[in-house]
Amino acid sequence: MSVNEIPLSLSAEQLITQVPGVVFQFYRSHEGHMAFPYMEGGGGTLAHIDKHQLAHDANNALEQLTGTDYPKLMSAIERSARWMLPLTTRFRLALPGRKILWIAVSATPEPTPTGVRWHGLMMDVSDQVLEEQRLRKLCNTDSLTGLPNRRRLMVQLTNLASLSTRHGTPLSIMMLDIDHFKRLNDRWGHLQGDDVLKQLATLTQSLLRTEDMIARLGGEEFMAILPLTPLKQCHQLADRLRQRIASHDFGVGEGQVTLSIGVAEYRCGEPLTTLIERADQALYSAKDVGRDCVCLLP
Ligand SMILES: Nc1nc2c(ncn2[C@@H]2O[C@H](COP(=O)(O)OP(=O)(O)OP(=O)(O)O)[C@@H](O)[C@H]2O)c(=O)[nH]1
């Protein structure tokens, strides 16, 4: 028997109930009234949904969407309706029992005399979204310390620098480097060195504000970004941090782990490389004058 001759065992209606997604028709009138005249499939996904209600009125149900999902979905619908472009977006659907599903929507618009009608499919993509989130976190995190890495830090610094330029608010950074870390590794071993890095990450993070960010740039070098903080305040904070580290016992004896820190303040509109270069130079000065201290350049 050729493939063409294999008989269809299901009608289209039966087939839709087996599809791993919800096949729907969505309608929005020119006045903004919304409804799902047709909704089928998706296995158990629709079990708790009142299809009858949605067939008449979907406005209320859509307004219940989580967080910013409602305005995001509405603007996707608006864009699709205005330009007759395919509607593709994602939103979160809260199920009874606090479980949240990520739903991906893909639909084609069609103008009608009274509004726009879409024909489309909604799929549960929760597993994919969780995997994307896991990979994104992996890309942005230093695996040893769990701190943000250089890539994540640069994104944050770019955003904060543009806010600082726009609003004229202060922004400072600290470049931190452990002193004689090679000596520590040589004496106590690499594993103990790793443990010092991890403890240092936890301790410094606990000493900063939640809106600050500290990242591991690599090796024994870290950088902190302090929004809304002028240089003088950043210098004081850096010195408090330095003292706290110097008096902490990391398991290798008190005073055995010290930090040299260079601080710099963002100058409105300057390239970030220039800001980082200034903090780096300040860090070199701190190393030059004997380590375990904080320096800034004039
Ligand atoms: N344990 C451990 N050591 C690391 C890691 N990354 C880099 N290092 C070590 O850090 C040391 C850095 O040495 P140097 O660059 O000479 O700096 P230092 O000994 O701290 O000297 P100063 O910075 O001048 O005070 C090297 O021995 C690296 O092997 C890491 O992830 N774990």
Q: Residues 97-143: pLDDT tens digits?
A: 778 889 999 999 999 999 999 999 999 999 999 999 999 999 999 99
Closest among 274, 268, 269, 214 to 245, alpha carbons compared: 214
Q: Are residues 153 and 263 in the same domain?
A: yes
In this prediction, residue 87 carries a pLDDT of 98
Q: What percent of the chain has pLDDT over 90?
A: 82
Instruction: Determine the distance separating the centroid of ligand 1 and the alpha carbon of 176, expressed in angstroms.
Output: 13
CB of 219 shorter than 6 A to ligand 1? yes
Q: Identify the active-site residue in 13, 110, 220, 221.
A: 220
Alpha-carbon separation of residue 130 from 92, 114, 163, 233 (angstroms): 12, 39, 30, 40
Please provide residue 163's backbone torsions phi and psi, each rounded to the nearest 5 degrees. -65, -40
Instruction: Give the tens place of pLDDT for each residue, 53-104.
Output: 999 999 999 998 988 999 999 999 999 999 999 999 999 988 877 788 899 9
Query: Does residue 38 fall inside a structural domain?
Result: yes
What range defines the domain where residue 117 resides?
A: 3-130
Cα(232) to ligand 1 centroid in Å equals 29
Inter-residue contact 244 to 292 (CB < 8 Å): no
Residue 136 lies in a domain: no
* H-type alpha helices, 41-145: 51-56, 59-63, 69-83, 126-140
Same domain, 117 and 150: no
Structure tokens at 248: 């902490």
Q: Is 193 in the pocket of ligand 1 (CB under 6 A)?
A: yes
Q: Please tell me whether residues 120 and 148 are part of one structural domain.
A: no
- Ligand 1 close to Cβ of residue 144 (< 6 A): yes
- CATH number, position 95: 3.30.450.20
Closest residue to atom 13 of ligand 1, CA basis: 182
* Cα gap 209→203, rounded to integer Å: 12
User: Is residue 188 in some structural domain?
Assistant: yes
Quick: pLDDT tens for 91-104.
998 887 778 889 99
Within this chain, do residues 98 and 44 fall inside the same structural domain, yes or no?
yes
Residue 217 CA, ligand 1 centroid: distance in Å: 12
219 Cα: distance to centroid of ligand 1 (angstroms): 6
Query: Is 63 designated active site?
Result: no
Domain total of the chain: 2
State yes or no: pLDDT of 161 exceeds 60: yes
Nearest residue to 92 via CA among 49, 124, 58? 124
Whole-model pTM: value is 0.77
Q: Ligand 1 pocket, 220 CB below 6 A?
A: yes
Tens of pLDDT, residue by residue over 40-52, are: 887 666 667 788 8
What are the beta bridge partners of residue 119?
25, 108
